[in-house]
Amino acid sequence: MNTFNSYIKKNDLVSVIAGKEKGKTGKVLKVLAKNSRVLVEKLNMVKRHQKPTQANPQGGIVQKELGIHCSNLMLLCSKCNKPVRVAKKEVSGKKVRVCKKCGEVIGKAA
């Protein structure tokens, strides 16, 4: 069984630190926990040839995002504006993600 305990969540801003998209940033659309992959908006785009169906009678070539492995991504801190490592702390009874550089809470504040 693959245990996936990611610090990356939907709607986070992330930066790619490895691979062909290195240095680019984007918003997380979906987290695929089973494969440890993340779909990032407008990154790792591929062209998919689709047959006509009832839902899509036109068919044709469709562009879509493929998953990027979570080890190739880092969260962007809104205060530092840089990719940062993340710590988990308890603030007023809730566990939150915190930037290791500046201590800023990432995501929803408690």
pLDDT at 2 over 70: no
User: Considering the domain 1-76, what is its CATH architecture?
Assistant: Roll (2.30)
pLDDT score, position 1: 45
Residues 6+ apart with CB under 8 A from 70: 4, 6, 8, 36, 37, 38
Residues 6+ apart with CB under 8 A from 57: none
The model carries a pTM of 0.85
Which tens digits make up the pLDDT trace of 52-106? 999 989 999 999 999 999 999 999 999 999 999 999 999 889 999 999 999 999 9
The answer to whether 63 and 45 have CB atoms below 8 angstroms apart is yes
